[in-house]
Every structure is written in structure tokens, then in C-alpha cells.
């Protein structure tokens, strides 16, 4: 059994006029709000905790992120029981292709949303297994023993080419977004999760405004999700900013 305490916060930021991010946590959707939840996960439980960062203008990003998280929740709910990790990962890769096709087709059917897309990153708890998932450049970090470590890999041209001069928002992988296909980094992390680990899931509205060292320092001070969002806004808040803090404990 796992005890999980989660804080979520999502904000439009200081520059944008609408919020294209969406948080999915335990079947509930969050945008422009904050919340706090406590779970005790039994061995057969399922829990989805992800952040989607939409893009596409004219509300296309909002639509894309919403489509992605709703589709993901339906996928998780519909999975059969007892899948082995390799089978779960294979099924998730298939879902990514389906979600990419869904969002792409919606953009074709509704020209005002043409080219819309979204990132997706977070943790999925499926029965006795925990998986990290990532599409795009939103981020998953682990905070352990006062040390912050990025777990996800940015699917950005800056990271791909190791060139800091490339704008950080130039990404080459997303659900929708005009690409012919999409892919996901999926890894079973069950054995890597330790008692009192905190996982930080965030849109790039946080990681573009604050360095990893600055986020680490805030975590050292015990910052909650709302305080991380406010710190990003104080640094300029140039994008929507969404944060989820997942504190995992393993009772004896």
C-alpha cells in the first residue's frame, strides 16, 4: 500500500490571456485552480497524475490538452486487470498514436484548431506498478533528500542539439501539433520510488521561469504547489504555469 499526498495548482500566468494547461489527477481535471488530495492506494488501484500543456492559439491549446487527458483517463479506465509492465508499456504506446491521431483529426475537422497539440507528462499508478510517461517538454522531477533531479527528457530541439541558443519551446514531439506521428518515453519506476520521495510534475511555465537550482531551493524551504506557481509568476510568468507535487510514503 502507498500513501500519496498530492497538491495541484494551475494559473494563466502574467502574460497570456487564457490557460492552455490542464492537470489530470484521479479522474478529475484542473485548470486555473488549486487543490489538495490524499490517497491510500491498494495493490489493485489505478491513479493517473499528469500535466498537459496545450499549444495552438484561438483556444486550440486548451482543446488539445483537454482531449489528451480525457482520452488518457478513458484508456486507463479501460485497461484489463493484471497486465505485465511490458504489456502496459506496449498498450500506452498504442494509446499515444491514437491520441495523436484524434487531436490531429479534430484540427482537420475544425479548421480554427488546425495544428493544435499538447505535451503530456507525469506518473501512472497501475496496480502494483508505477510508470513515468512523457511526450514533449513538460517535466517530471524527483525531489529526494534535498536533491532535485529531472526524470523526464525534454523532446526539444535545444536538448536534441545541445544548443542553448535554440528557444526552449521549439519541440519535435507532441500529441497533435502537426507532426506525422508522436512517441512517448515510458518507464516502469516502481523499484526506484522510495519512502518520502516527492515527484514534481510541471508545465514549462515553471521550468522556463525558474532554474533547477531555484526550484530545488524552494523545495528545500518546503514550498507547496501554489508557492511554486507564485515564484514562476514573480519571475515573469510568461507562460501558463501548472504544478503538481506528489509526496509518496510507504507505511510499514
Question: What is the pTM for the complete model shown?
Answer: 0.95
The pLDDT tens digits along the chain (252 residues) read 899 999 999 999 999 999 999 999 999 999 999 999 999 998 889 999 999 999 986 679 999 999 999 999 999 999 999 999 999 999 999 999 999 999 999 999 998 999 999 999 999 999 999 999 999 999 999 999 999 999 999 999 999 999 989 988 899 999 999 899 999 999 999 999 999 999 999 999 999 999 999 999 999 999 999 999 999 999 999 999 999 999 999 887
Give the cell for residue 1: 500500500
Residue 2 and residue 22: Cα distance in Å, rounded?
25
What's residue 85's pLDDT? 97
Coil, helix or strand at residue 7:
strand
User: What pLDDT does 42 receive?
Assistant: 87
Query: Model confidence over 80-123: pLDDT tens digits?
Result: 999 999 999 999 999 999 999 999 999 999 989 999 999 999 99
Measured CA to CA in angstroms, residue 132 lies from 14, 141, 178, 185, 231 at distances of 30, 10, 25, 8, 26
* Spatial separation of the C-alpha atoms in residues 49 and 243, rounded to whole Å: 11
In angstroms, the first-to-last Cα distance of the chain is 9
Contact, 118 vs 174, CB < 8 A?
Answer: yes
Domain boundaries, the chain: 2-249
DSSP reduced 3-state for 78: helix
Pairing of strands 2-11, 241-249: antiparallel
CB burial readout 116-147, b (16+ within 10 A) else e? bbbbbbbbbbbbebbbbbbbbbbbbbbbbeee
Residue 94, exposed/middle/buried by CB under 10 A (0-12, 13-18, 19+)?
Answer: exposed
pLDDT in tens, 222-231: 999 999 999 9
Q: Is 22 exposed, middle or buried (0-12, 13-18, 19+ CB in 10 A)?
A: buried
Q: What is the C-alpha separation between 8 and 26, in angstroms, rounded?
A: 12
Provide the 8-state DSSP code for 113.
G
- Check if the beta carbon of residue 50 is closer than 8 Å to that of residue 73: no
Quick check: 179 and 173 in contact, CB under 8 A?
yes
The yes/no answer on whether domain 2-249 falls in CATH 3.40.50.300 is: no
Q: Give dist(CA 16, CA 104) in Å, integer.
A: 24
Instruction: Count the Cβ atoms, other than its own, within 10 Å of residue 16.
Output: 17
Amino acid at each position: 500500500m502507498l500513501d500519496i499526498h498530492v497538491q495541484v495548482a494551475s494559473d494563466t500566468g502574467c502574460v497570456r490571456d487564457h490557460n492552455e494547461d490542464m492537470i489530470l489527477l484521479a479522474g478529475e481535471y484542473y485548470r486555473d485552480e488549486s487543490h489538495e488530495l490524499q490517497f491510500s492506494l491498494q495493490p489493485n488501484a489505478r491513479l493517473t497524475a499528469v500535466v498537459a500543456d496545450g499549444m495552438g492559439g484561438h483556444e486550440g491549446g486548451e482543446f488539445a490538452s483537454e482531449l489528451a487527458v480525457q482520452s488518457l483517463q478513458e484508456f486507463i479506465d479501460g485497461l484489463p486487470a493484471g497486465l505485465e509492465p511490458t504489456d502496459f508499456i506496449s498498450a500506452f504506446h498504442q494509446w499515444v498514436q491514437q491520441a495523436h491521431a484524434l487531436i490531429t483529426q479534430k484540427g482537420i475537422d475544425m479548421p480554427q484548431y488546425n495544428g493544435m497539440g499538447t505535451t503530456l507528462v507525469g506518473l501512472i499508478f497501475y496496480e502494483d506498478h508505477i510508470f513515468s510517461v512523457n511526450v514533449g517538454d513538460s517535466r517530471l522531477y524527483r525531489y529526494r533528500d534535498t536533491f532535485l533531479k529531472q526524470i523526464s527528457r525534454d523532446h526539444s530541439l535545444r536538448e536534441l542539439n545541445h544548443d542553448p541558443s535554440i528557444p526552449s519551446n521549439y519541440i519535435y514531439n507532441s500529441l497533435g501539433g502537426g507532426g506525422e506521428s508522436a512517441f512517448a518515453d515510458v518507464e516502469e519506476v516502481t523499484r526506484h520510488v522510495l519512502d518520502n520521495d516527492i515527484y514534481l510534475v510541471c508545465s514549462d511555465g515553471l521550468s522556463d521561469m525558474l532554474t533547477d537550482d531555484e526550484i530545488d531551493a524552494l523545495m528545500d524551504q518546503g514550498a507547496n504547489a501554489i508557492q511554486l506557481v507564485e515564484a514562476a509568476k514573480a519571475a515573469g510568468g510568461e507562460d501558463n504555469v501548472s504544478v503538481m507535487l506528489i509526496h509518496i510514503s510507504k507505511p510499514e
